[in-house]
């Protein structure tokens, strides 16, 4: 059985963008995260080892987003996707969309948005060492039980 989780409309304030004003004044960002979990036979055992805690995924994404200042939304989305895959062993693939509502564009638009899709198999073993210089390296190490696959998961 394939299972996915979706977190839509996660909003936070951040300091990302190409221009210094964006990185100084900040602006509102919106995140949509969709994760495909590793295949299981059933969820009827009601076992959290077969899934991930949504609040932990949200906390991790927000910690990564606040760990540095990115010039591009693409780099921010990739950093979050990589961090989620490294933190949660139950996640096999993840899509992270990042939007900002006040881009410095002369035309009237509602928002700009990028989307990054990453599979666990796409991660290089040393990908964490080449991460964005302003991001915290803690997101690429092994942390707590979320990184271990439970033996009770069918």
Distances (CA, A) of 21 to 8, 11, 18, 81: 28, 20, 9, 26
Known catalytic membership, residue 28: no
Query: What burial class does residue 10 get, using C-beta atoms within 10 Å of its C-beta: 0-12 exposed, 13-18 middle, 19+ buried?
Result: middle
CB 91, CB 85: distance < 8 Å = yes
* Catalytic residue chosen out of the listed positions 76, 100, 116, 140: 100
Report CA dihedral (21, 66, 54, 10) to the nearest 10 degrees.
-10
Nearest Cα neighbor of 85 from 38, 132, 134, 29 is 38
Distances (CA, A) of 58 to 12, 21, 35, 83, 107: 11, 27, 12, 12, 32
User: Mind telling me the catalytic residues?
Assistant: 100
């Amino acid at each position: 059985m394939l299972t996915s989780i979706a977190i839509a409309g996660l909003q936070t304030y951040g300091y990302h963008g190409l221009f210094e004003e964006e990185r100084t004044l900040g602006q509102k960002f919106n995140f949509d995260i969709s994760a495909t979990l590793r295949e299981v036979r059933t969820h009827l055992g009601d076992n959290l080892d077969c899934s991930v805690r949504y609040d932990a995924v949200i906390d991790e994404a927000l910690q990564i987003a606040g760990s540095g200042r990115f010039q591009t939304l693409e780099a921010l989305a990739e950093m979050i996707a990589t961090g989620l895959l490294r933190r949660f062993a139950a996640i096999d693939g993840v899509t992270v969309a990042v939007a900002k509502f006040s881009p410095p564009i002369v035309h009237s638009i509602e928002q700009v948005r990028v989307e990054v899709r990453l599979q666990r198999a796409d991660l290089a073993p040393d990908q964490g060492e080449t991460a964005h210089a302003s991001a915290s390296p803690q997101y690429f190490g092994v942390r707590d039980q979320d990184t271990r696959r439970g033996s009770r998961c069918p």
